[in-house]
Amino acid sequence: MKNICLPQFDHLQLPPLSGEQWKYTKLSTLIPRDVLPGPALLEQERCWSGCPLELDPKSYKVVLLDGQLAMEHTTLPAGVEVSIKERTGSSNSKDYFEQLNSNTANSEVLLTIKSNQSITSPLYLIHQLSSLPQTLLQPRVTVEVGANSKLTIHELLYSLADEQGVGGHVNSVTKFLLEKNANVEHLLSQVADENFHGVVTVIARLRQDASLNTHFASLGSSMAVMRLDAELQDEGAQLGSFALYSLSQNQHHDFQTIIKHLKPHTSGQQLYKGVMKDQAHGIFSGKIEIAPGAHHSESSQYNHNMLLSEKARADSRPTLDVLNDDVKCGHGATVGQLSSDSLFYCQGRGINPERATAMLRQAFLLEVLAKLESQELKQDLLNLLSVYTDQE
């Protein structure tokens, strides 16, 4: 694994593989030892093949091809700017994957939403990834949202399927910096090809009265780790973190979250729901940290799983680290099977077992879908679910 760090990055510290967080996911399988950071294709060889969603030609979008900004396909609303920021020096982050991404990237894409803007029509942040062996793609995007601005954004990550079954690897980082009273709704849809493996990290830093609702829809890739690192840095900051995943065959998806309440009167809500069938494995490892001075904070963390076969598996580990008595916190996890009573009820009304199972699975996930406020994002997600989940 350490071979992916070129000599100048030997100081980077691997995650503690003996800890609970990496108990179920093997890093050597996720990112093999022989991959090297770098773009998969030369600039003149890259082309945009369109995305899994049928977008309106007038849609606002930022397109990245193998992590590189494609300005010719980028369309922005008024009040939004995009630029390429050259990187100098190394990251001071303690997170291995963020360091690896930062320290091996010559530049990052900077998306700036000016103050007092209202971008309610979805802005699409599109990551198209090439499937090439022994190459680690590392898109890096920073989204700066100015004071009193509102943004609706759909981040879509997908790979180009290879006819010979050649896989690829990604270590992407998207960082949100929300200024005072900024409001962002973010949907991240991961629909990479089954042979594509990788780590997808969202970092969020919220200032006073800022609000971020971020949603993960992890549907593609046979092995993926979806990560959220959020800090509520000022009073009144609010975070909603939601995810749905519907896994089949041998898919292995690992969700890791850490939410830090650093100041008083902050709030957080987490709800992750997954359905596993065949030999699929879903993992959730979440942590809430409430600092000593963060009194009157509220935070909840729940993970619910449904297993549709004997060999399907779910592991859940929600944890709290509360250093203040004057707070309200809750956490929990459930793993269960499809209700036989519900199946019987559907069959009694002429619905065959396969169709009944699909309906009940969708109903189970709808609680997460309902957390999306944007009707456009809801429809996008429904469209993706219809394509990337089994439709018995």
Task: Give Dmax over CA atoms of the chain in angstroms.
Answer: 66
Look-up: residue for tokens 């190394």? 90
Q: Is the pTM of this model over 0.85?
A: yes
What are the φ and ψ backbone dihedral angles of 321, each rounded to 5 degrees? Answer: -130, 90
| Residue with more model confidence, 304 or 15 | 304
β-bridge pairing 68-69 and 60-65:
antiparallel
| Residue 194 dihedral angles phi and psi, to the nearest 5° | -60, -25
Three-state SS at 366? helix
pLDDT tens track for 160-194: 866 665 678 899 999 999 999 999 999 999 999 88
According to the model, what pLDDT value does residue 19 have? 65
- Beta-carbon count within 10 A of 313 CB: 18
Q: What is the pLDDT of residue 381?
A: 95
Residue 57 has pLDDT above 50, yes or no: yes
| Predicted local confidence at residue 6, as pLDDT | 46
pLDDT tens, residue by residue, 103-135: 777 789 999 999 999 999 999 999 998 877 778
Q: For residue range 207-260, what is the model confidence (pLDDT) as tens digits? A: 999 999 999 999 999 999 999 999 999 999 999 999 999 999 999 999 999 999
* Identity of residue 44: Q
Count how many residues are written for the chain: 392
How much is the mean pLDDT over the chain? 87
What whole-number distance in Å separates Cα of residue 365 and Cα of residue 376?
A: 18
d(CA 71, CA 49): 15
**61 phi, psi to nearest 5 deg:** -155, 150
Residue 205: CB atoms within 10 Å: 19
- Whether residue 92 contacts residue 133, with contact meaning beta carbons closer than 8 Å, is answered with no
Side chain identity at residue 196, one-letter code: F
More confident residue, 44 or 202: 202
pLDDT confidence tier of residue 390, bands split at 50, 70 and 90: low
Burial class, 89, CB count within 10 angstroms (exposed 0-12 / middle 13-18 / buried 19+): exposed
Do the strands 281-290 and 298-307 form a parallel or antiparallel pair, or are they unpaired? unpaired
Beta bridge partners of 329: 299
The string of pLDDT tens digits covering residues 77-88 is 999 999 998 876
Q: Which two tokens stand for residue 3?
A: 């071979």
Query: Which pLDDT value is given to residue 185?
Result: 98
CA proximity to 134, closest of 167, 93, 111, 160: 167
